[in-house]
Amino acid sequence: MDLTKIRLFDADHFYDSDLPDWYLKAEQISDAKGIEFHLALDQALACEHWPLTEDAVLDGAIEIRYWPSEQCGTLVLIETPHAIVEQIVILNAAYWLPFLSKYLAPLITTAHHSGLLAVHGKIANAFIAWARHGEGHHVDRETGLSTIDLDHDRDRSRIKRARAEMAKAAHDDTP
C-alpha cells in the first residue's frame, strides 16, 4: 500500500490522489502529541471515528473504522494490528451506503467470522483439556491447551532414568 496516496471513491469508481491537507495535519498532530493516529484524525477532521469491526486481536484480523466528516466526506480506514491496508474517502454521502454494502460488508462479515472461529477454538481446546483431565490449573487460560501430558511425560522420563540408575547400581554391586 502506498501511504503517500489516498484512494477516493465516487460514482462507483476508485481514484488515487495525493494526501489531503487534513491527513497531513493528522500526521503532525499524532507526531507532536504522541497520540494514536485515529485520535489525531478525530481532531483533524473535527469528528469522532466509529468502528465497524471489533478490535483486531488476531494477527491476520482487520479493523475497519470510519469518520463521517463534513470536511472531507467519509474516511474509511482498513487496517491490521501491524499496518494500514487501505484508506478510502467516499466523497459524496449518497455513495456511502452502496460502498458499505458492496465493499465493506463482506470484509466485516469475514472479520467477525474470524473472531468467532478463534473464540470457538479456545473453547474447544479448554473443553478437550477438561474432558481429558478434569478441573485443574494445568489448562492455559489464553489458549485452552493442557500441559498435563507434557508434565506426565517429564515425570515418566525421570522415573525411567532413576530406575535405570538403580538397576545399574544394583548390577555393579553384585560380585
Buried/exposed code over 66-102 (b: 16+ C-beta within 10 A; e: otherwise): bbbbeebbbbbbbbeeeeeebbbbbeeeebbeebbee
Report the pLDDT averaged over residues 16-21: 93
DSSP 73-133: EEEEEEE-SSSEEEEEEE-SGGGHHHHIIIIIHHHHHHHHHHHHHHHHHHHHHHHHHHHHH
Of the pLDDT bands very low, low, confident and very high (cuts 50, 70, 90), residue 146 is low
Could you read off the pLDDT of 36-58 as tens digits, one per residue? Answer: 999 999 999 999 999 888 765 55
pLDDT at position 174, please? 65
Instruction: For residues 34 and 28, give the distance between their C-alpha atoms in angstroms, rounded to a whole number.
Output: 9
Of the pLDDT bands very low, low, confident and very high (cuts 50, 70, 90), residue 143 is low
Q: Residue 88 in contact with residue 95, Cβ under 8 Å?
A: no
Could you read off the pLDDT of 95-141 as tens digits, one per residue? Answer: 999 999 999 999 888 888 877 887 888 888 878 777 776 666 566 66
Could you read off the pLDDT of 85-98 as tens digits, one per residue? Answer: 899 999 999 999 99
Evaluate if residue 2 carries a pLDDT over 70: no
The one-letter code for the residue type at 142 is: E
Evaluate if residue 16 carries a pLDDT over 70: yes
Stated as kind and residue range, the H or E segment containing 65 is strand 63-69
pTM > 0.75: no
Computed over every residue of the chain, the mean pLDDT equals: 84
The dihedral over CA atoms of 156, 158, 159, 163, expressed in degrees to the nearest 10, equals: 140
